[in-house]
Amino acid sequence: MSRLNMVIADIDGYYACSLAKWITDNHSALISLEVYTKQDSVLEFLQSEGRKPDILLVSQDFLEVCREEPCAKTTIILCPKGSMDKYPQYYCINKYQPADVLFNQIIDYYSETCNDGGHLAKGSSKTKVVNIFAPQGASGKTTISLLLAHQLALLGHKTLYISFRSLNNTVLSFMQGTLAENLHNSFSRLVYYVKQNKSNLAFKINSLIAKDRETSLCFLVPSHCSLELDELTGSELASIISEIKATGNFEYIITVSDSSITQKSLSLLESADIVLMPVKPDLHSIDRIAFFDRELKKIESAHKIEVRSKIFIMLNNCSQNSGNTDYPYPVLDSIPYLGNIEGAKYLFDKKVCNIMKPVANKLIEQLGTGYSRGAENEYKYNYA
């Protein structure tokens, strides 16, 4: 995915570097950054040939210099909230607000004013989408999907977790004391972008992604209201996955959905490269899987889609006496009953996460990602 060239020009070096560090830490795949804190160095940069930034963030102190040498595709003025009316000819944003809010305002404005953002959505096609789905409740979908995403991130794979469940407690699922970046954003904003047919959707989606500081696992913060998910159609959900996948910013996208068979869940199943189906080894679950398979055959025939060949069983809450059962899909692995793990105190406890390591490795082997990482970006600071 091509990166935007952004320049921050502000006499307040501490502010400029703090903002640059936040953007680099959270959006290095999207933004290439330079920071200037002296007027002479800003002017030298603007006068140099072939160095036209996509976005120029400039404070009031450097505005006159930028007026003399206009070169950026988009110029945005950083100023205190009370001074924003002084520059009606420019787009102004309040510089003293949460970094994620400020960043989204920058991206929104750039996307609406520039018509060349299509190149931003062209990335690697080797990203793999893993959907966690089960036709029966209480199968362990949420726990397994979170632990799998967490484990993939711990193994060094760039992973995005998205819950499409109506009752989504993604943020609450992260262990106590682990803070995440970008929590002011939410799935609610994504719904707005999709329904408004906003341009550069892939780039905007990436600007909404939060990141767990401890593991670097990325995720979308849940909606403000669970009913907002009802506003999206199955095709719109598939479009969201397609847009994120096209950026090539992630090796794995882990999705989880409700247990019912709907157009939305079918779209997510179709969008996946592999479907992991948690199943408890009890008679009710076994019968439910058999019934689901019969229904899915009918749906595949009627709608000319292919899903069954992607499904792998994940045996959950297994004991030594679980025995062998014939399932309509191959078994990828089994997970023991977590209550048997002594000392585990929370979901992302190391002892719990280690249970998922063999599963993650088998998944990687099954998918054969072949993903190639790009170099991470460091911002360039100009002292002179």
User: Can you tell me the distance from the alpha carbon of 204 to that of 272, in angstroms, rounded to the nearest whole number?
Assistant: 22
pLDDT band at 140 (very low <50, low <70, confident <90, very high): confident
Of 85-94, 195-204, 324-333, the poorest mean pLDDT is in: 195-204
Q: Give domain status of residue 122, yes or no.
A: no
* DSSP β-bridge partners for residue 382: 36
**pLDDT: is 53 or 203 the higher one?**
53
Strands 128-132 vs 252-256: parallel, antiparallel or unpaired: parallel
- Alpha helices in the chain, H assignment, sequence order: 13-27, 39-47, 63-68, 99-113, 141-154, 170-173, 187-195, 201-208, 234-247, 263-271, 283-303, 350-367
What is the pLDDT at residue 379? 57
Gap between the Cα atoms of 36 and 72, Å rounded:
15
Put residue 3 in one of left, alpha, beta given phi > 0 → left and psi -120 to 50 → alpha: beta
The first and second tokens of residue 160, run together, are: 């995005």
Same structural domain for residues 110 and 224?
no
Specify the CATH number for the domain of residue 18: 3.40.50.10850
Question: How confident is residue 183, by pLDDT bands cut at 50, 70 and 90?
Answer: low
In this prediction, residue 14 has a pLDDT band, given cuts at 50, 70 and 90, of: very high
Q: Are 228 and 191 in contact (CB under 8 A)?
A: yes
Statement to judge: residues 235 and 310 lie in one domain? yes
pLDDT, residue 80, reads 86
> Is residue 379 included in any domain, yes or no?
no
Instruction: Look up the CATH number of the domain holding residue 277.
Output: 3.40.50.300
pLDDT at 275 over 60: yes
- Judge whether 167 and 225 are in contact, CB under 8 Å: no
Question: Is the domain of 202 the same as that of 316?
Answer: yes
DSSP secondary structure string for all residues of 307-330: -GGGEEEEEEEE-TT------SS-
Q: 144 CB contacts (<8 Å, ≥6 apart)?
A: 132, 276, 278, 314, 316, 335, 356
Question: Residue 121 — very low, low, confident or very high, per pLDDT cuts 50/70/90?
Answer: very low
How many helical (H) and strand (E) elements, i.e. helices and strands, does the chain have? 12, 15
Residue 120 lies in a domain: no
Neighbours of 155 (CB within 10 A): 13
In the chain, the percentage of residues whose pLDDT exceeds 90 is 19
Say if residue 226's pLDDT is above 80: no
279-307: per-residue pLDDT in tens? 888 788 888 888 999 999 999 999 888 99
pTM, to two decimals: 0.76
Q: 3-class SS at 349?
A: coil
Q: Are the C-beta atoms of 134 and 277 separated by less than 8 Å?
A: yes
pLDDT computed for residue 128 by the predictor: 93
pLDDT value of position 178 = 44
Report the number of distinct structural domains present in the chain.
2
Predicted confidence (pLDDT) per residue in 350-375, tens digit: 666 777 888 888 888 888 754 444 44
Structural domain harbouring 24:
4-114
Q: Tell me if 204 is assigned to some domain.
A: yes
